[in-house]
Structure 1
Amino acid sequence: MKQITEQEWETIKENLWTDFLQNASAEEIHKSVMTSNWDDCKTLLKFITDNPEKIDKATALLAYWKSQPDWFKKFENEQDYINKEGYNLFLYHFLEKVEHHFSQNNYTQSIMYFDPKSCEFYKEIRNEAILNLIPEIMKQSTGNQYVEYPEDFEDGLPFPIAQKLFYLLDEYEIM
């Protein structure tokens, strides 16, 4: 078993993700968001904000709502968030970037269907004042092509790529 550092392992994972995302269709990226573990998907979320031309509005909205924007909206601004919470600043910035892309109409594809109001994270919001802080454009449904939950994806990756990642875990001892 080969020993590698945590940073080397993160680089291996990031490279696998990047290769997948660069060659993925808009629907595959959507399926990736549907099945991703939110604790380990920075490469996916960064791709969504860095490549709006490849991203369907439904995908960006799904990622936005899975990120639970209501949690972050209860803070006055970024500094207030840092002072009171301070963790996961990446997700705070992700939400801001997605909102910006929507306000600028940078996500131009609108084929796949997503209705934020049917999303479990939207339905869980009980504070109307917080909900009102979320821009209206982020609450509107988009597209008309329904995408079934994929059985051939695991942790955001198509099964063969996810399987390759799992096999690599057997080859390496992460130090």
Structure 2
Amino acid sequence: MKQKISNDEFQQLFDEMVIQFAEKQTPKIWHQMAMEWNETSVFLHWLADNPNTDKATALMLYWMSGPRYFKQFKNREEAGSNTSKFDLIENIESKYLNGFYNKQNFSFDPNTADFSGTVWVEEYLDKTIVREIPVIMFEKLEGEMVEEPEGFIEGMPPELYDLHDELCEKYGF
């Protein structure tokens, strides 16, 4: 018989499982997970707050989160229901500017098409911004080019996806 828990309880268990998994992985795996992450933002916030996160991963995460879209708002209250992403962008930007991300082994260029064909600095150009994106956030970072992950499902490596499936099976999700 499957145990019954609420959606919120399931999500909390899943988020904890993701962080426990991530803590045992390398910064390169974190980078690959972030490239395609399609789950809750708990993992992304963990990455943003982790001093071992590569500077290129932080910059990629920043641009993939749509900073220009959120720069149309003066503050988090104006962002409405998008406060989690607003907070993520502001947190990464602040830490990036203050040198929090001091490891830099990977490359990322927000001005050039990535593996998905997206040029991140061209996203949301139709938005009128009220707060500037700092110039440093546009700068290319040199380093190892991290390849698009193979076998990942919505940003989850196969091992993590299997754990996710087990959790779903256990609780009937």
How far, CA to CA, are the matches of 1:9 and 1:32 in structure 2? Answer: 21
Q: Percent identity?
A: 28
Q: Which runs of 5+ in 2 are unaligned?
A: none
Distance 1:131 1:150, change over 3 A: farther
CA contact (8 A) 1:21 1:47 kept: no
CA contact (8 A) 1:33 1:59 kept: yes
How far, CA to CA, are the matches of 1:90 and 1:46 in structure 2? Answer: 9
Paired position in structure 2 for 1:49: 48
CA contact (8 A) 2:71 2:131 kept: no
Q: Which has the higher helix share?
A: 1
1:60 Cα deviation after fit:
0.5
Paired position in structure 2 for 1:27: 28
- Per the alignment, in what secondary structure is the counterpart of residue 143 of structure 2? coil
Q: Deviations over 1:53-93 (max 9, x none)?
A: 21111100111111111111011223333xxxx11201111
Paired position in structure 1 for 2:77: 79
How far, CA to CA, are the matches of 2:169 and 2:22 in structure 1? Answer: 24
CA contact (8 A) 2:72 2:127 kept: no
Paired position in structure 1 for 2:61: 63
Distance 1:59 1:164, change over 3 A: same
Paired position in structure 1 for 2:84: 90
1:123 Cα deviation after fit:
2.3
1:7 aligns with 2:8: yes
1:80 partner letter:
E
Distance 1:154 1:48, change over 3 A: same
Query: Normalization by structure 1: what TM-score?
Result: 0.86
Paired position in structure 2 for 1:137: 136
- Per the alignment, in what secondary structure is the counterpart of residue 4 of structure 2? strand
1:132 Cα deviation after fit:
7.9
> What is the RMSD computed on CA atoms of the aligned residues?
2.0
Q: Deviations over 1:118-148 (max 9, x none)?
A: 2523223424963981111111111320011
1:31 Cα deviation after fit:
0.4
- Per the alignment, in what secondary structure is the counterpart of residue 153 of structure 1? coil
Q: Which runs of 5+ in 1 are unaligned?
A: none
Distance 1:149 1:54, change over 3 A: same
How far, CA to CA, are the matches of 2:127 and 2:17 in structure 1? Answer: 41
How far, CA to CA, are the matches of 1:41 and 1:2 in structure 2? Answer: 22
1:10 Cα deviation after fit:
1.2
CA contact (8 A) 1:116 1:141 kept: yes
Query: Normalization by structure 2: what TM-score?
Result: 0.87
Name the structure, 1 or 2, with higher relative contact order (CA <8 Å, separation 6+): 1
How far, CA to CA, are the matches of 1:151 and 1:72 in structure 2? Answer: 31
How far, CA to CA, are the matches of 1:134 and 1:127 in structure 2? Answer: 15
CA contact (8 A) 2:68 2:125 kept: no
Count, aligned residues: 167
